[in-house]
Amino acid sequence: MGGLSLAESPPMLRRATLLLCLLPGAALAQATTPGTTSALVTTQGVSGLANQAECSSTTSTATWTIGSSVTPVIANGDRYRLGAATQGAGCTSSGTIPAGISQDLTATGATQVVTGVFVTAMAATASVGSCTQASDVTIALCVYYLPGGSTTNWQLVSQGTFVFQLAVPPRPRINGVTPGDSQLSVAVVAGDTTATETATRSVTYRVTCTPSTGGGAPVTSGSSNVGRVICGGLTNSIPYTVTAQAASQAGNPGAVSDPTGPDASTTPLPFLDFWQVYKGQGGVEQGGCSTGGAGALAPALALLGLLAVRRRRS
C-alpha cells in the first residue's frame, strides 16, 4: 500500500513534517548573544585605553582578543571582519555590514588574537574626531563573522568597548620640599581643572629635580599618587630646582608645575651634616643608637637643628 502524501496526512503529522523541514534554516538564522572583544594598544599598560599620542600616531597598533559566539561552527574559508562604531550607535546587527577597519581575516576559532590593528583606523571608523580634544571618547568594538567569506549571511559575534582617553590633567602645585640624604621629599598637590585640563581620575605624578650647579643630568622620580613624591639618587650639598607633572591613566602628560628652588629646602644633605648643624646650634647629645635613652633621639634632634637653620634663613 502506498504511503500518504503530505496533503493527505493528518494535521499533526503535517505540522511535524514541516517543522523538521524548517529546523536547519532556523538553526542558521537563530539569534546569538555576541561574545566579548577587548583591545590593548601595544604601548599601553592598561587594556582598553589609548592616549592622545597613540590616537594620532600613524604607527601605533592594538591587539584585539576576540571571544566570539559563532553559529554554526567555523569552517574553512570563514572570515572575521573587525569594525568600530560610536558608543551611541553601537555595533550593527542587521542590514548592511559596515566596512572593516582593517582587511578581513581568516577565522580560525571562536577565540582568536589579532595583532597589528592600527589605532588611527579605530578612531577614524568610530568618528572620534580630534585626538587633542579635552574629553574622553568611548567607542564600540565590533567583530562580524562572514561564513565562507561572504557578506550575505554575516553575524555580529563579538563586541566590546574602548576608550580614547584624550583629556589631560591640570597643572599640579608643589606645597613644600623636605631634604634628606641624597633625596628630596616633595609635597605635590593636584591642580584645579580648567576648560582644557579635565582628567582627574587615576592621575599619577612625577617629580623632576634639576641640579643648579655641576652640570649633572636631571633626575625624575617614579610615578606616584598625589602627596609625598620622593626624588632620589641626588648629589648631597647641591641645590636643585624641583618641578612636578601629572599624567592621566593612559599617559597624557599635563603642564609642568611652577618650579621650587634652588634653595636650602631643595638641597639634599648627608646625615652627618644634619648632626653638625645640630651641634653647631648648641646641641649636647652625643648621638648614636648605642648610647640608648636620649641618645637614640639624635637623628630627630639633628633634623630639628636643620629646620631651625631653615627658619633662620627664611
Q: What is the 3-state secondary structure (H, E, C) of 51-95?
A: CHHHHHCCCCEEEEEEECCCCCCCCCCCEEEEEEEECCCCCCCCC
Task: Single out the residue in 149, 164, 179 at which a domain terminates.
Answer: 164
What does the pLDDT read at residue 273? 55
Based on the fold, state whether residues 221 and 107 are members of the same structural domain: no
Could you give the CA distance from residue 85 to residue 75 in angstroms, rounded to a whole number?
27
Hunting for cell 609625598 — which residue is that?
A: 228
Based on the domain organization, do 180 and 258 belong to the same domain?
Answer: yes
Is residue 249 within 8 Å of 220, Cβ to Cβ? no
What CATH number has the domain bearing residue 200?
Answer: 2.60.40.10
Q: Are residues 159 and 179 in the same domain?
A: no
Same domain? 256 vs 275: no
Non-local CB neighbours of 241 within 8 Å, separated by 6+ positions: 209, 210, 212, 259, 260, 261, 262, 266
DSSP three-state, residue 247: strand
**Quick one: which H or E segment has residue 313?**
helix 298-313
Q: How far apart are CA 112 and CA 142, in angstroms?
A: 14
Domain boundary among 269, 285, 305: 269
Domain that holds residue 100: 34-164
pLDDT given at position 146: 94
Same domain, 179 and 232: yes
Q: Under DSSP, is residue 214 helix (H, G, I), strand (E, B) or coil?
A: coil
| pLDDT per residue as tens digits for the range 139-160 | 999 999 999 998 888 999 999 9
**Residues 117, 200: one domain?**
no
Nearest to 208 by CA among 193, 197, 223, 198: 223
**Strand ranges (DSSP E) for 60-198?**
61-67, 79-86, 105-106, 111-118, 137-146, 155-164, 173-180, 183-189
Q: Are residues 285 and 205 in the same domain?
A: no
239 and 309 in a single domain? The answer is: no
Question: Considering its fold, how many domains does the chain have in total?
Answer: 4
| 233 and 201 both lie in a single domain | yes
Count of other CB atoms within 10 angstroms of residue 188 = 25
Residues 219 and 231 in one domain: yes
With beta carbons less than 8 A apart as the criterion, state whether 246 and 254 touch: yes
Q: Is the peptide bond prior to 72 cis by the omega test (within 30 degrees of 0)? A: yes
Check: CB of residue 67 under 8 Å from CB of residue 158. yes
**Residue ranges of the chain with per-residue pLDDT less than 70:** 1-32, 215, 271-314
Separation of alpha carbons 46 and 249, rounded Å: 8
User: By three-state DSSP, how is residue 240 classified?
Assistant: strand
Cis peptide bond upstream of 172, omega within 30? no
Please give the span between the terminal C-alpha atoms of the chain, in angstroms, as a whole number: 118
Neighbours of 44 (CB within 10 A): 20
Looking at residue 39, its pLDDT comes to: 97
Q: Tell me what pLDDT residue 226 has.
A: 77
The last residue of a domain, from among 235, 254, 269: 269
